[in-house]
């Protein structure tokens, strides 16, 4: 246990309150401490970032990984779209991903002689979010004015796939070649279930609304990510796809950069690493018996991070999200859809939202993602009238504050939470790097439970998870 | 149910008449008049699409003085017909098909029975497709198809077409990928079970 880790700074964004309204962070309380991932799990991988070398380590790793990639198909004068997604910018402050995007551009220009290289950055449900990142990280300048954010409501293009017609965003594909620059952070395991995770943006941030709706409404909770595979496997995309470059992530930071002309080979490598690196911490979160959860990070409610795990996966940590024998996570859109008018599930397969979460203190988290499910299932206190007003104006969250109480400030929210939730265990989703900020009482529980979780994942769960994904555990080191 | 509490407002000085907003508005509330965008406040459902896509930031969202709700009450239409439409589209009538507005399949079925025969009219009267603007187009198209309606596409980017469902996936495709972690048949089983289960019984409110 150590001093709390500095939380990720609030960000200026149209989707959250202005940083000046975030007057106090949850990690500032004297009862808070931090636990490092290395102290929980000895096999936590070494990271290149954050490290003493700083961002240079990311550039070096990117250059090394890209050296092995074939770019000979790109001829001088060819147009290239470097495709990015908002998610990468939410990792470790966003600089490592922005630098990877800059390095990819530099190396394509140097090796192929073309200068017609554009950045096309897709989004989740906040249509100007990557526009904000493009400006904040100087990507427009680096891409010589050819950088733009694209949204799923922009002009589309039909793509013929093995299962029928799906639709992509036209601006993603309006070049001779596309380069897929992403990261291996597991993040939405409740959606993709760590199946073809590396391919997901083809069915999501690069896709039109028709395709994204197919993913979340037409296919089902364990077939959903096939939408992405179907698009990626189409002749149309295969004819344009040049290569992929990924930040290889662990909950502790950037492990390296992986690049390949074969996205599916890269996907297999990342599937194993994702199960291993994230499987342990998510399983450990499932051991928490009771707590107050603090949301304190510049992202929408489900996407705030603690130890590399997003809050909505903590809301589902009472179920093994990697185990494909479990049809529905406690939170995913199919699950949300299956609650009837009386507030009870329509079928018995719907697991309850993690009962360990006794109360949520929403100190700082954005709108721009339908989040009423969370405030209607877990008692929630929103800190600050400005924040509540902002959420009430958000078309995706008309009902969120209705299910919450509002506190004037963090002190009164915490006082109320301790009294009402009757627990002194607190977990803070504030993006602390290398570990997580928690109350001392919760730190003790995590340290106590980690060894048996470690063993269970290595011996019992990892082999099962890999087999379910068609990977022979014997081939994995 | 959708509470409409905001309204899009155009700054005519900034507007270039590019029509982007017209092409993304889910309720067709925008027209170009004398090369400027004009918003019909009666039809705006405060979805933010135009404000989020205008290339010159000419649109702002302002608070409505009189917020109102849009909702089609399923109790006002024939229950058997609602249930039949939902079953044909493979939805449970109580299944939520729009997460932002908590709209259930039965409300869309009722809207269709009232004669709202395009996604645009359905959005105007129920508020679906005016929250995230992304996830609920397929259920709307599936329910229209179940009613035998092929809506005409508006002259914009509002939507392109109905896409495949898990029931449409060819057997050879399933066989090729099911060992890689895609559980197609199990998902079909689950979705069928949801669609066929009886309602929770709570009265409409
Ligand atoms: S998108 Fe903006 S500039 Fe274009 S017509 Fe609409 S308001 Fe005018
Ligand atoms: S419904 Fe949406 S896109 Fe249409 S005018 Fe209103 S805010 Fe703009």
CB contact under 8 A, A163 and B2: no
**ipTM value:** 0.96
- Which residues in chain A have Cβ-Cβ distances shorter than 8 Å to B23? 155
B53 and B104 fall within a common domain: no
Structural domain ending residue among the three candidates B13, B44, B68: B68
Residues B53 and B88 in one domain: no
User: How does pLDDT run across A37-47, given as a tens digit for each residue?
Assistant: 999 999 999 99
Section A359-364 average pLDDT: 98
Residues of A with CB below 8 A from B50's CB?
none
Select from B201, B195, B100 the least CA-distant residue to B143: B195
Distance CA A364, CA B85 (A): 43
Which atom of ligand 1 is found nearest the CA of B57?
2
**SS3 of B137, please?**
helix
The predicted-structure confidence for A99-129, as pLDDT tens digits, reads as follows 999 999 999 999 999 999 999 999 999 999 9
Residue B57 has pLDDT above 50, yes or no: yes
B68, B86, B110 - which closes a domain: B68
Q: Which residue has better confidence, B205 or A309?
A: A309
Q: List the one residue out of A187, A190, A214, A193 whose CA is nearest residue A202.
A: A214
Answer yes or no: do B153 and B189 share one domain.
no
Q: How far apart are the first and last CA of chain B?
A: 10
Residue B198, pLDDT score: 82
- Rounded to a whole number of angstroms, the distance from the CA of A211 to the nearest CA of chain B is 7
Is the model's pLDDT at A475 over the cut of 90? no
Give CA separation, A396 vs A301, A366, A390, in Å. 12, 11, 11
User: In this structure, are B42 and B80 located in the same domain?
Assistant: no
Interface probe, candidates B71, B130, B132, B154, chain A, greatest A C-beta count within 10 A? B132
Give me the number of domains chain B comprises: 3
**Percent of chain A residues topping a pLDDT of 70:** 100
Query: Which residue out of B182, B184, B186, B202 would a mutagenesis test of the A interface target, given it has the greatest number of A Cβ atoms within 10 Å?
Result: B182
Query: In this predicted structure, what is the pLDDT of residue B205?
Result: 37
Q: Do both B201 and B152 map to the same domain?
A: no
pLDDT at A472: 86
Chain B: give the shortest CA distance to residue A269, in Å. 14
Percentage of residues of chain B with pLDDT beyond 70 = 97
CATH of residue B32's domain is: 3.30.70.20
pTM for this entry: 0.96
What residues of chain B lie within 8 A of the CB of A203, using their CB?
Answer: none
Q: Is the CB of B29 under 6 A from ligand 1?
A: no
Chain B's closest residue to A324, CA to CA, is B181
- Residue of the CA atom closest to atom 4 of ligand 2: B25
pLDDT at A476 exceeding the cut of 80? no
Q: How confident is the model at residue B204, as a pLDDT?
A: 42
B19 lines ligand 1 (CB under 6 A): yes
* Digit-coded pLDDT (tens) for A272-302: 989 989 999 999 999 999 999 999 999 999 9
In this prediction, residues A379-397 reach a mean pLDDT of 97
If you write DSSP's letter for every residue of A192-225 in order, what string do you get?
HTTSSGGGGGGGTTTB-HHHHHIIIIIS-TTTTT
pLDDT(A78) > 70: yes
> Do B169 and A163 make contact, defined as CB atoms within 8 angstroms?
yes
Determine how β-strand A405-407 pairs with β-strand B103-104: unpaired
Pair (B60, B85) in one structural domain: no
Average pLDDT, chain A: 96
DSSP annotation string for A430-445: S--SSEEEEEHHHHHH
Helical H segments across B89-177, by residue range: 105-113, 119-126, 137-146, 171-177
Structural domain boundaries, residue B103: 74-163
Joined together, the tokens standing for residue B17 give 């008449």
Q: According to the model, what pLDDT value does residue A189 have?
A: 86
What is the DSSP pairing of strand A291-300 with strand A426-429? parallel
Ligand 2 atom closest to Cα of residue B28: 4
Average pLDDT over residues A127-156: 98
- Judged by CB atoms closer than 8 Å, whether chains meet at B168 and A347 is answered as no
How is residue A146 annotated by DSSP? -
Find out whether the beta carbon of B25 lies less than 6 Å from any atom of ligand 2: yes
- Ligand 1 neighbourhood includes B54 CB (under 6 angstroms): yes
**Ligand 2 pocket member B50 (CB < 6 A):** yes
* Average pLDDT over every residue of A403-423: 97
Which tokens in the block code for residue B120?
Answer: 């645009």
Per the CB < 8 A criterion, the answer to whether B112 and B88 are in contact is no
- Shortest Cα distance, chain B CAs vs residue A12, angstroms: 17
Indicate which atom in ligand 1 lies nearest the CA of residue B17. 5
| Residue B9 beta carbon below 6 angstroms from any ligand 2 atom | no
Residue B119's pLDDT band (boundaries 50, 70, 90)? very high
For the cut 80, the answer to whether the pLDDT of residue A341 exceeds it is yes
Over the stretch B158-199, which tens digit does the pLDDT of each residue have? 999 999 999 999 999 999 998 888 999 999 999 999 999 986
Contact A214 B138 (CB under 8 A): yes
Domains of chain A, each with CATH number or no CATH: 19-43+280-451 (no CATH), 55-250 (3.40.50.11440)
Give A208's contacts in chain B (Cβ within 8 Å): 160
Contacts with A370 from chain B: Cβ below 8 Å: 99-100, 131-132
As a whole number of Å, the end-to-end CA separation of chain A is 31
Q: How far is the CA of B26 from the centre of ligand 2 (A)?
A: 7
B32 and B55, same domain (yes or no) = yes
Ligand 1, atom nearest to B59 Cα: 7
**What are the structure tokens assigned to A68, written together?**
């092995």
Question: What does the alpha-carbon distance between residue A97 and residue A80 come to, in Å, rounded to a whole number?
Answer: 19
Atom of ligand 2 nearest to the CA of B45: 1
Please answer yes or no on whether A341 and B182 come within 8 Å at the CB atom: no
Please answer yes or no on whether B24 and A153 come within 8 Å at the CB atom. yes
Q: What is the pLDDT of residue B199?
A: 66
DSSP state of A459: I
- Does residue B49 line the site of ligand 2, with CB under 6 A? yes
Q: Is the bond preceding residue A50 a cis peptide, omega within 30 degrees?
A: yes
Residues B57 and B78 in one domain: no
| Closest CA relative to residue A158, chosen from A230, A222, A220, A226 | A230
Per-residue model confidence (pLDDT) at position B202: 53
Q: Three-state DSSP class for A263?
A: helix
Percent of chain A with pLDDT over 90: 93
């Amino acid at each position: 246990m150590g001093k709390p880790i500095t939380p990720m700074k609030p960000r200026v964004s149209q989707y959250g309150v202005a940083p000046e309204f975030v007057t106090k962070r949850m990690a500032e309380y004297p009862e808070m401490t931090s636990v490092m991932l290395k102290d929980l799990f000895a096999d936590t991988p070494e990271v290149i970032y954050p490290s003493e070398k700083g961002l240079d380590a990311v550039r070096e790793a990117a250059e090394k990984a890209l050296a092995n990639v074939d770019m000979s198909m790109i001829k001088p004068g060819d147009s290239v779209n470097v495709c990015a997604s908002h998610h990468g910018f939410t990792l470790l402050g966003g600089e490592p991903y922005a630098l990877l995007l800059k390095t990819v551009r530099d190396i394509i220009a140097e090796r192929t002689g073309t200068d017609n290289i554009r950045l096309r950055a897709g989004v989740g449900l906040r249509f100007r979010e990557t526009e904000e990142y493009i400006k904040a990280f100087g990507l427009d300048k680096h891409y010589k004015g050819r950088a733009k954010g694209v949204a799923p409501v922009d002009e589309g293009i039909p793509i013929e796939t093995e299962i029928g017609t799906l639709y992509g965003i036209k601006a993603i594909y309006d070049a001779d070649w596309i380069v897929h620059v992403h990261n291996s952070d597991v993040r939405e395991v409740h959606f993709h279930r760590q199946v073809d995770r590396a391919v997901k943006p083809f069915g999501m941030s690069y896709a039109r609304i028709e395709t994204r709706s197919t993913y979340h409404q037409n296919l089902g909770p364990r077939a959903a990510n096939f939408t992405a595979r179907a698009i990626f496997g189409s002749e149309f995309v295969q004819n344009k796809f040049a290569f992929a470059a990924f930040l290889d992530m662990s909950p502790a930071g950037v492990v390296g950069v992986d690049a390949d002309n074969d996205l599916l080979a890269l996907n297999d490598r990342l599937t194993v690493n994702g199960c291993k690196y994230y499987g342990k911490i998510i399983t450990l979160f499932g051991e928490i018996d009771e707590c107050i959860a603090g949301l304190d990070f510049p992202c929408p409610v489900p996407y705030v991070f603690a130890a590399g795990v997003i809050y909505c996966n903590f809301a589902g940590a009472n179920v093994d999200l990697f185990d494909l024998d479990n049809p529905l996570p406690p939170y995913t859109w199919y699950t949300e859809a299956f609650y009837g008018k009386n507030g009870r599930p329509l079928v018995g397969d719907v697991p309850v939202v993690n009962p360990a979460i006794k109360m949520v203190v929403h100190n700082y988290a954005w709108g721009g993602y339908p989040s009423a499910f969370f405030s209607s299932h877990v008692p929630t206190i929103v800190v600050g009238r400005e924040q509540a007003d902002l959420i009430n104006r958000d078309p995706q969250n008309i009902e969120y504050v209705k299910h919450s109480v509002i506190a004037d400030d963090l002190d009164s929210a915490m006082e109320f939470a301790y009294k009402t939730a009757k627990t002194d265990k607190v977990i803070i989703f504030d993006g602390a790097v290398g570990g997580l900020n928690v109350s001392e009482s919760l730190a003790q529980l995590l340290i106590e439970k980690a060894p048996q979780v470690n063993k269970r994942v290595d011996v019992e769960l990892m082999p099962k998870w890999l087999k379910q994904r068609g990977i022979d555990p014997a081939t994995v080191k | 149910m959708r509470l409409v509490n905001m309204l899009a407002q155009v700054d005519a000085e900034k507007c270039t008449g590019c029509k982007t907003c017209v092409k993304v508005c889910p309720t067709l509330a925008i027209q170009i008049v004398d090369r400027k965008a004009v918003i019909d406040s009666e039809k705006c459902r405060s979805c933010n699409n135009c404000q989020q896509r205008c290339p010159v930031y000419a649109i702002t969202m302002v608070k409505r003085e009189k917020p109102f709700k849009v909702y089609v009450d399923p109790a006002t239409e024939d229950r058997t017909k609602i249930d039949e439409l939902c079953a044909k589209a493979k939805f449970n009538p109580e299944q939520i098909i729009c997460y932002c507005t908590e709209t259930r399949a039965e409300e869309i079925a009722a809207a269709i029975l009232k004669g709202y025969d395009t996604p645009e009219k359905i959005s105007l009267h129920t508020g679906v497709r005016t929250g995230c603007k992304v996830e609920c187009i397929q259920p709307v198209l599936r329910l229209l198809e179940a009613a035998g309606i092929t809506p005409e596409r508006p002259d914009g980017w509002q939507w392109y077409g109905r896409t495949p469902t898990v029931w449409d996936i060819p057997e050879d495709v399933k066989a090729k990928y099911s060992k890689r972690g895609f559980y197609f048949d199990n998902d079909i089983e689950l979705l069928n079970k949801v669609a066929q289960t009886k309602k929770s019984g709570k009265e409409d409110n």
